[in-house]
């Protein structure tokens, strides 16, 4: 201290004392301890973290950093045979948020902005963004590109932390709605095929998702670097169906109308199949659903019942109700085929040589096998019949005898041969294979019952496949729905044309049975399936549902079916309809229920398929029959059958029901092929404006007038120039009004 005070003297400078040794020593010791122990500890700690634990922590870090983004493969489309889109996938965007990394101070403002873009409630968005218990909150699903872009722009312009991201995904659309639904099926929420073709061909349709592995930041944004690895998606393939939407819509329309008309409780099925290839041209199954919203219950009664339930009862009932509408009743549900099965028995017996077409069988009205007595419908005694007549009469007793001649072993063999004990292998999931007798259990009674289609159960697809074999020359074909598979660019990848599985009966037998079937429609029990000009074969079937408890009056619920085949001289297509549990008060034979249904379908399918009408035996002018009779025959479907059989077309103007008015009126003489307009709700004619056809060619003029809703008589050469029309142009006339056009044989034939 003394030395310091001396330094006050200005000059010369004296050296200062320096640092005391104690201080220096303690500093040196502390410094040494600090550097060696302190920094040593830190280095050791770093070694532990970076080298020892490095891999483990690094893996955890990588797990949070890398975003393994799926590049969703676009699911393939489904087209009908004519190229219409039945199912397609559309690219959309999901908007999601990670609330844990959103700035709480910015949420309120962000919620309002996002809600406006997304069309949501701002409070709701605010709730979602505030829920920091999760890192994944869905704000909106399936928005379109402009909306997604607007969200992106909003987020990137937002000045506070806002972890909201858009994810590309796709939704499945079914442009036709509730159409072919049980065949198409639908996809679940994950976009995987869940029912129908969507499920069966899921792998084909789905394609292979691609991936991009990118590094992302906490907000989910990609980090710009060169480490991103992309495996491109391979889009799904498309299916082209054998189903033709025109045929399908004919089936669906008539089936729905028939279900209403006949009060069908359980289900209705209609299948149209190419008998030679097994290609399914149409397959309708009711009740059904709209695959765009498959979880909704479309049966109003069921939906109302569900509304009254809750808890487990609701869940169970809802599940059952969905199952009911989703199921493809043509392949998953069984029925007793009834008399339609007689075609199989007949073909088998003929092929086995047990009978010949002219073999005769007596029907005394009742017939006892072992302890059971069988009768025919209405206890009728058919007397002596050939095989053909037995088919025509649908005589149970004759068929019991035919089966007895065949013997249970042969019967069993043919039963197998026609594919009733196996799945048809149609390209749909959930197919059933039927319930049938084993050979050992096929005793005399079972054989007798089986001969006319009772005591064993089949699926509608099995039945129509067997009938196809009966009529196509004996070949058991493979029913299928997909004709070809296209890649995402529309190139053909695979053509599906399965070979027949086997020949069950000879071609000769086949044609014998076909001609017997023609007899059924041509004046037999299936005459309501007759369409003038076409040669149609068919067979009806009625089966009592003996396995379901009888009604109070002792009767059993009944299912009605009918199979129609055309053209008889070279069978091309078969149509099978089946209405399960018909509760109609007024109709109780397949002849008035399922036969006219198939007839009406064929009357439209035939022309669409381009089958030529043979009108050589038909008169060119037809007298319009009276359809307003006030009895059963006035029911729209029978009225239409009547018109079919006369060679007239028909159009229901105002829906199904009893015909109470018609145009043209009964007794009017009209050309063959004219259309009779049927009214079931009101007796007032609907009118249309008469087009001006003067100066046009006759054929074109006829088409114009028919399209406008009128019938046409051509006076003069068929395709001559129209010089006059019997009803003034532009005047309003009732639909169906007969208009005569006068033509002259002009020289300018090739205009």
Query: By CB under 8 A, is residue 39 in contact with another protein?
Result: yes
Q: Is 49 in the site for another protein (CB under 8 A)?
A: yes
- Applying CB under 8 A, the span of 4-12, 374-382, 522-530, 635-643 interacting with another protein comes to 4-12
* Integer CA distances (angstroms), 215 to 151, 169, 622, 635, in order: 22, 20, 80, 71
727 contact partners, CB below 8 Å, separation of at least 6: 690, 733, 737, 739
Does residue number 51 form part of the binding site for another protein (CB under 8 A)?
yes
Q: Alpha helices of 7-143 — where are they, by DSSP H?
A: 21-33, 40-47, 54-65, 107-118, 122-130
Nearest in space to 151 (alpha carbons), one of 160, 135, 161, 163: 163
Choice between 135 and 372, CB closer to another protein:
135
Q: What's the min distance (Å) between Cβ of 1 and another protein? A: 7
Residue 31 binding another protein, by CB under 8 A: yes
**Least distance in angstroms from the C-beta of 19 to another protein:** 4
Does the protein bind another protein through residue 22 (CB under 8 A)?
A: yes
Cβ atoms of 518 and 465 within 8 Å: the answer is no
Q: How far apart (Å, rounded) are the C-alpha atoms in residues 430 and 327?
A: 9
Nearer to another protein, 219 or 314 (CB): 219
Which backbone phi and psi does 607 adopt, to 5 degrees?
Answer: -60, -40
Residues 169-208, one symbol each (x = binds another protein by CB under 8 A, - = not), give ----------------------------------------
Q: Which stretch binds another protein (CB under 8 A): 193-201, 210-218, 416-424, 696-704?
A: 210-218
Instruction: Specify the stretch interacting with another protein by CB under 8 A; choose among 22-30, 497-505, 527-535, 553-561.
Output: 22-30
5 is an interface residue for another protein by CB under 8 A: yes
Tokens of 704: 């114009």
Burial label, 400 (beta-carbon count in 10 A; 0-12, 13-18, 19+): buried
Buried b (16+ CB within 10 A) or exposed e, 173-187: ebebebbbbbbbbbb
* Candidate list 34, 231, 295, 608; residue touching another protein; CB under 8 A: 34
Of 225 and 747, which has the nearer Cβ to another protein? 225
d(CA 180, CA 21): 101
Stretch that binds another protein, among 211-219, 234-242, 250-258, 539-547 (CB under 8 A): 211-219
Nearest by Cα to 478 from 460, 498, 453, 463: 498
CB neighbours (10 Å) of residue 288?
Answer: 28
Q: Determine the length of the chain.
A: 751
**567 near 535, Cβ under 8 Å?**
yes
Report the nearest approach of another protein to the CB of residue 74 (Å): 31
Q: What token pair was written down for 691? A: 């087009």
Q: How far apart are CA 611 and CA 209, in angstroms?
A: 46
Q: Closest separation between CB of residue 242 and another protein, Å?
A: 54
Nearer to another protein, 15 or 667 (CB): 15
- Contacts with another protein, 214-253, as mask; x by CB under 8 A: -xxxxx-x-x-x----------------------------
Of 25-33, 72-80, 120-128, 581-589, which part binds another protein (CB under 8 A)? 25-33
Q: Does the protein bind another protein through residue 60 (CB under 8 A)?
A: yes
Site for another protein contains 295 (CB under 8 A): no
Question: What is the enclosing helix (H) or strand (E) of 11?
Answer: none
Q: Which is nearer to another protein, 17 or 175 (CB)?
A: 17
Give the span between the Cα atoms of 740 and 735, in whole angstroms.
14
Reply yes or no: is the peptide bond before residue 189 cis, omega within 30 of 0: no
26 in contact with another protein (CB under 8 A): yes
C-alpha 622/C-alpha 625 separation (Å) is 9
Nearest partner of 538 among 567, 559, 502, 558, judged by Cα:
567
Stretch that binds another protein, among 24-32, 310-318, 430-438, 457-465 (CB under 8 A): 24-32
Does residue 438 bind another protein (CB under 8 A)? no
Alpha-helix runs per DSSP H in 119-157: 122-130, 145-157
SS3 of residue 742 by DSSP: strand
Residue pair 474/348 in contact (Cβ under 8 Å)? The answer is no
Using CB under 8 A as the binding rule, whether residue 15 contacts another protein is answered as: yes
Q: Reduced to 3 states, what is the DSSP secondary structure of residue 683?
A: coil
Residue with tokens 């005793």: 443
Number of residues that bind another protein (CB under 8 A): 57
Asked whether position 100 contacts another protein by CB under 8 A, the answer is: yes
Q: Does 45 sit near another protein (CB under 8 A)?
A: yes
**Distance of closest approach, residue 56 Cβ to another protein, in angstroms:** 7
Residue 320 touches another protein, criterion: CB under 8 A: no
Q: Which C-beta is closer to another protein: that of 30 or that of 707?
A: 30
CA distances from 690 to 196, 592, 651, 726 (A): 47, 37, 18, 10
Only one of the segments 56-64, 248-256, 301-309, 335-343 lies at the binding site for another protein (rule: CB under 8 A); that segment is 56-64
**621 part of the interface to another protein, by CB under 8 A:** no
Selected from 83, 119, 159, 747, the binder of another protein by CB under 8 A is: 159
Residue 130 contacts another protein per CB under 8 A: no
Q: Which residues bind another protein (CB under 8 A)?
A: 1, 4-5, 7-8, 13-20, 22-24, 26-28, 30-31, 34-35, 38-39, 41-43, 45-47, 49-51, 53-54, 56-58, 60-62, 64-65, 100-101, 135, 159, 161, 215-219, 221, 223, 225
């Amino acid at each position: 201290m003394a030395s310091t005070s001396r330094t006050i003297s200005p000059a010369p400078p004296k050296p200062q004392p320096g640092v005391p040794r104690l201080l220096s020593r303690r500093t040196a010791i502390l410094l040494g301890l600090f550097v060696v122990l302190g920094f040593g500890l830190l280095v050791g700690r770093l070694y532990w973290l970076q080298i020892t634990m490095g891999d483990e922590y690094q893996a955890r870090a990588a797990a949070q950093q890398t975003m393994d983004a799926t590049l969703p493969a676009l699911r393939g489309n489904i087209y009908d045979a004519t190229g219409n889109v039945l199912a397609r996938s559309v690219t959309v965007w999901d908007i999601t948020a990670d609330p844990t990394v959103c700035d709480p101070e910015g949420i309120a403002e962000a919620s309002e902005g996002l809600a406006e873009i997304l069309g949501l409630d701002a409070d709701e968005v605010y709730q979602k963004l505030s829920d920091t218990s999760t890192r994944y909150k869905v704000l909106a699903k399936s928005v379109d590109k402009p909306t997604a872009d607007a969200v992106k722009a909003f987020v990137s312009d937002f000045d506070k932390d806002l972890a909201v991201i858009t994810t590309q995904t796709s939704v499945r659309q079914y442009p036709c709605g509730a159409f072919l639904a049980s065949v198409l099926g639908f996809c679940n929420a994950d976009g995987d095929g869940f029912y129908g073709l969507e499920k069966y061909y899921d792998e084909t349709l789905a394609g292979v998702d691609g991936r991009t592995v990118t590094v992302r930041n906490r907000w989910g944004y990609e980090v710009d670097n060169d480490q991103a690895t992309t495996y491109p998606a391979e889009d799904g393939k498309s299916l082209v169906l054998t189903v033709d939407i025109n045929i399908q819509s004919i089936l669906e329309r008539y089936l729905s109308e028939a279900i209403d008309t006949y009060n069908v409780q359980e289900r209705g099925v209609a299948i149209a199949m190419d008998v030679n290839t097994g290609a399914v041209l149409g397959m309708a199954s009711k009740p059904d659903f709209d695959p765009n919203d498959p979880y909704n219950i479309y049966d109003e009664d069921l939906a109302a019942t569900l509304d009254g339930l809750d808890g487990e009862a609701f869940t169970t009932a809802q599940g059952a109700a969905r199952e009911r509408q989703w199921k493809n009743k043509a392949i998953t549900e069984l029925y007793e085929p009834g008399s339609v099965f007689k075609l199989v028995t007949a073909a088998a017996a003929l092929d086995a040589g047990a009978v010949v077409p002219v073999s005769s069988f007596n029907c005394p009205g009742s017939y006892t096998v072992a302890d059971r007595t069988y009768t025919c419908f209405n206890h009728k005694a058919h007397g002596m019949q050939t095989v053909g007549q037995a088919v025509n009469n649908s005589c149970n007793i004759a068929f019991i005898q035919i089966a007895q001649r065949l013997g249970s072993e042969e019967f069993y063999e043919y039963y197998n041969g026609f594919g009733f004990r196996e799945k048809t292998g149609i390209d749909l999931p959930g197919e059933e294979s039927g319930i049938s007798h084993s050979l050992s259990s096929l005793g005399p009674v079972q054989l007798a019952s089986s001969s006319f289609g009772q005591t064993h159960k089949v699926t509608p697809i099995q039945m129509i496949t067997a009938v196809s074999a009966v009529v196509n020359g004996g070949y058991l074909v493979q029913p299928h729905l997909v004709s070809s598979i296209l890649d995402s660019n529309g190139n053909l990848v695979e053509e599906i044309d399965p070979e027949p599985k086997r020949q069950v009966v000879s071609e000769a037998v086949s044609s014998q049975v076909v001609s017997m079937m023609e007899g059924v429609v041509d004046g037999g029990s299936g005459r309501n399936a007759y369409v003038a000009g076409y040669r149609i074969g068919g067979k009806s079937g009625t089966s009592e549902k003996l396995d379901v408890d009888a009604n109070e009056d002792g009767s059993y619920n009944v299912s009605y079916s009918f199979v129609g085949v055309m053209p008889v001289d070279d069978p091309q297509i078969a149509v099978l309809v089946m209405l399960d549990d018909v509760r109609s008060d007024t109709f109780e034979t397949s002849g008035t229920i399922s036969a006219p249904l198939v007839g009406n379908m064929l009357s439209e399918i035939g022309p669409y398929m381009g089958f030529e009408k043979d009108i050589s035996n038909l008169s060119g002018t037809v007298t319009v029959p009276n359809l307003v009779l006030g009895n059963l025959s006035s029911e729209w479907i029978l009225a239409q059958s009547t018109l079919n059989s006369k060679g007239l077309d028909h159009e229901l103007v105002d829906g199904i029901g009893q015909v109470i008015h018609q145009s043209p009126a009964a007794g009017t003489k009209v050309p063959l092929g004219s259309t009779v307009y049927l009214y079931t709700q009101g007796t007032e004619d609907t009118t249309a404006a008469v087009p001006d056809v003067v100066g046009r060619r006759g054929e074109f003029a006829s088409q114009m007038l028919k399209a406008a809703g009128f019938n046409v008589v051509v006076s003069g050469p068929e395709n001559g120039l129209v010089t006059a029309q019997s009803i003034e142009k532009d005047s309003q006339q009732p639909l169906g009004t007969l208009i005569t056009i006068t033509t002259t044989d002009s020289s300018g034939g090739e205009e």
